[in-house]
Homo-oligomer: A and B are copies of this chain.
Amino acid sequence: MTDVRKLGTDSAHDPQLLIKQLIHTPVVNAPDQEIVYRDLHRYSYRELYGRICRLANVLVSLGVKAGDTVAVMDWDSNRYLECFFAVPMIGAVLHTINVRLSPEQILYTIDHAEDDVLLVNGEFLPILEQIRGRIDTVRQYILLNDEPTVPETHLDFTGEYEALLAAADATFDFPDFDENSRATTFYTTGTTGMPKGVFFSHRQLVLHTLGVIATLGTSVSQGRFHREDVYMPITPMFHVHAWGLPYVATTMGVKQVYPGRYMPDHLLELIAREKVTFSHCVPTILHMLLKSPYSAKVDLSQWKVIIGGASMSKALCLDALKRGIDLFTGYGMSETCPILTFSQLLPEMIADGPEAQAEIRCKTGMPLALVDLRIVDAEMNDVPRDGKSSGEIVVRTPWLTQGYLKDHRTSEKLWEGGWLHTCDVANIDAKGYVKITDRTKDVIKIGGEWVSSLELEDILAHHPAVSEVAVIGLPDERWGERPLALVVVKPDIKEKVTEKTLQHHVHEYADKGMISKQVVLLKVRFVEMIDKTSVGKVSKVTLREKYLPKQA
């Protein structure tokens, strides 16, 4: 009786979802497909699998056990791809070190993640030399070297990667274990404080891979990733596993090209030579590539690109479309593995002109298979699908970080009410396209209504006298908040600009229904300059600290 009715089945023969399952089928189905690293390596999937086995044998021989952490400091390389598989496949955790952090921050993450073994590209030795005496956990270093000579160093290397692999056995019997085992970890860079550790399990990475393929593969024509594509990442492998796309590309068995460091002409050369058709990058990189004089010589009309990491401007999108590039937005964050949505065109949009297409391609997009994405108000009610009403994006899907490493308090806040809170403010239109308008931190809540500081900035920037502008929320007893615009006036503008001029300018937009009427509460303050972070972003945190009255 209980046999048939009980919930739960005997899952003795139900394999756990492990990263090793992703590599199995492509090695069987596409053994001769290529992996390319710059001008230095070119080999088949068959050999890739052999090298993964060799690396596993090397690590085990160095004493790496299940649950240990293996860290990597490298540019995008075939070695990194091998680590993506071999390290978690032996049950260890892969720590992908963000090489753009300061040496002090890198030391912090090595310590915090408790790295046992560190694989380091010779180019980053100067960083390690600086912190060498203070690294407590690392027992062994492996050198990743692309140069003909061995670099001078005080570090005591166990060996060089290629030499170690060559000496190791090319077969390995990868173990089975709990699919919830941690597979990878890396650190997000906030605007304040030390980086926070994010981590993902085997199960999460397998499901993210399948969710991405289910969406990228089944679109009709534009933005489709298929088995004849040639893949090259242009977002770093240390950052959320290059958006998880190397796992996707390997599972699909496509040709893969790893470019090393991102130098525009070198990237363009690889695209041309290897016939790269599928990439992903931040808007800045795409801009750089299109502006390079060399790009005029390269046919980019077969290139599909996911744009993410920052919102894509319509101007950049139109530039790229003119070159024949099939580009679209992907959205997510470090905490979400990362991909949640893609902004692929619907079939009826393919005949649209570039202006209309750019409108869609720059949106945030639609959720992938298995992604339960909602846009909710403060009471967790879904906002209407009218393309106007704003709310916060909250998500549930089986590939979200469970919280930050050793940081329970922040973790709880991230997961308030059982939904992951993205802090992104968005609307959703009748067709289902989500569009992010703000970070929750950038929204000004005036009398219960959410007004986008970015939209307000955009409107103010359209005034001919305004050179730079940033809008923050000014605490207000009656309204909760009211907008405060910090404005730098153009030096060559004769016209005397007053607060009233700009208020009037904004009211005109409100009168036309282009922004909430609440903006009549705008205050303006003229400043000499607007403070930015070290990477050139406007720091609203700093602006709030500087211009807002201190709270008691």
> A114 interface residue, CB < 8 Å from B?
yes
CB pair A10–B67 under 8 Å, yes or no, is no
Other-chain residue from B11, B14, B402 in contact with A13 (beta carbon distance below 8 A):
B402
CB pair A114–B368 under 8 Å, yes or no, is no
Other-chain residue from B15, B30, B204, B214 in contact with A214 (beta carbon distance below 8 A):
B214
| A213 → chain B closest CB, angstroms | 4
Return the chain B residue nearest A433 by Cβ: B29
A7 to B91 CA separation, bound complex (whole angstroms): 8
Q: Which of A112, A201, A406 has the largest number of chain B CB atoms within 10 A?
A: A201
Contact mask for chain A residues 352-393; partner B; CB cutoff 8 A; 1 contact, 0 none: 000000000000001111111100000000000000000000
> A232 interface residue, CB < 8 Å from B?
no
> A220 interface residue, CB < 8 Å from B?
yes
Residues on B with beta carbons closer than 8 Å to the beta carbon of A13: 396, 400, 402-403, 415, 418, 420
Other-chain residue from B14, B227, B372, B400 in contact with A402 (beta carbon distance below 8 A):
B14
> A178 interface residue, CB < 8 Å from B?
yes
Q: Which of A1, A8, A203 has the largest number of chain B CB atoms within 10 A?
A: A8
Other-chain residue from B7, B22, B178 in contact with A178 (beta carbon distance below 8 A):
B7
Residues on B with beta carbons closer than 8 Å to the beta carbon of A9: 180-182, 199, 201, 402
CB pair A220–B228 under 8 Å, yes or no, is yes
A167-221, CB < 8 A from B: 177-178, 180-182, 185, 199, 201, 203-204, 206-207, 210-211, 213-214, 217-220
A99-141, CB < 8 A from B: 112-114
> A69 interface residue, CB < 8 Å from B?
yes
Other-chain residue from B30, B182, B366 in contact with A29 (beta carbon distance below 8 A):
B366
Residues on B with beta carbons closer than 8 Å to the beta carbon of A28: 366-367, 373, 432
Contact mask for chain A residues 384-427; partner B; CB cutoff 8 A; 1 contact, 0 none: 00000000000011101011011000000001001010000000
Return the chain B residue nearest A200 by Cβ: B9
A369 to B206 CA separation, bound complex (whole angstroms): 11
Q: Which of A8, A9, A400, A418 has the largest number of chain B CB atoms within 10 A?
A: A9
> A297 interface residue, CB < 8 Å from B?
no
**With A17-B398, A21-B370 in contact, is A5–B204 under 8 Å at CB?**
no
Residues on B with beta carbons closer than 8 Å to the beta carbon of A369: 22, 25, 210, 213, 251
CB pair A3–B406 under 8 Å, yes or no, is yes
A396 to B252 CA separation, bound complex (whole angstroms): 19
> A478 interface residue, CB < 8 Å from B?
no
Q: How many A residues, CB 8 Å from partner?
A: 81
Contact mask for chain A residues 486-510; partner B; CB cutoff 8 A; 1 contact, 0 none: 0000000000000000000000000
> A351 interface residue, CB < 8 Å from B?
no
CB pair A4–B113 under 8 Å, yes or no, is yes
**SS class, residues of chain A in contact with chain B:** loop
A1-42, CB < 8 A from B: 1, 3-17, 21-22, 24-25, 28-31
CB pair A370–B25 under 8 Å, yes or no, is yes
Residues on B with beta carbons closer than 8 Å to the beta carbon of A16: 398
> A225 interface residue, CB < 8 Å from B?
yes
Residues on B with beta carbons closer than 8 Å to the beta carbon of A323: none
> A68 interface residue, CB < 8 Å from B?
yes
> A66 interface residue, CB < 8 Å from B?
yes
CB pair B203–A1 under 8 Å, yes or no, is no
> A480 interface residue, CB < 8 Å from B?
no
Residues on B with beta carbons closer than 8 Å to the beta carbon of A113: 4
Residues on B with beta carbons closer than 8 Å to the beta carbon of A177: 7
Residues on B with beta carbons closer than 8 Å to the beta carbon of A10: 402-403
Return the chain B residue nearest A68 by Cβ: B5
A224 to B16 CA separation, bound complex (whole angstroms): 28
> A293 interface residue, CB < 8 Å from B?
no
Residues on B with beta carbons closer than 8 Å to the beta carbon of A204: 14
A415 to B28 CA separation, bound complex (whole angstroms): 23
Going nearest first, the 10 A-B pairs with the smallest beta carbon separation are A217-B217, A217-B218, A210-B210, A5-B67, A7-B181, A213-B214, A29-B366, A29-B432, A8-B180, A220-B228
Interface residues of A (CB under 8 A from B): 1, 3-17, 21-22, 24-25, 28-31, 66-69, 91, 93, 112-114, 177-178, 180-182, 185, 199, 201, 203-204, 206-207, 210-211, 213-214, 217-220, 224-228, 251-252, 347, 366-373, 396-398, 400, 402-403, 405-406, 415, 418, 420, 432
Q: Please name 19 further chain A to chain B contacts, defined as beta carbons within 8 Å, in addition to the given A7-B91, A213-B213, A228-B347, sorted by A numbering.
A: A4-B69, A4-B113, A4-B185, A4-B405, A5-B67, A5-B68, A7-B181, A8-B178, A9-B181, A13-B402, A14-B201, A14-B398, A17-B207, A28-B366, A210-B369, A213-B218, A213-B369, A218-B225, A220-B227
A-B contact pairs, 25 of them (CB 8 A): A4-B114, A4-B182, A4-B406, A6-B182, A7-B181, A8-B180, A9-B181, A9-B182, A9-B199, A11-B402, A13-B400, A13-B402, A13-B418, A13-B420, A15-B397, A25-B366, A29-B366, A30-B432, A213-B369, A214-B217, A217-B218, A218-B226, A218-B252, A219-B226, A220-B226
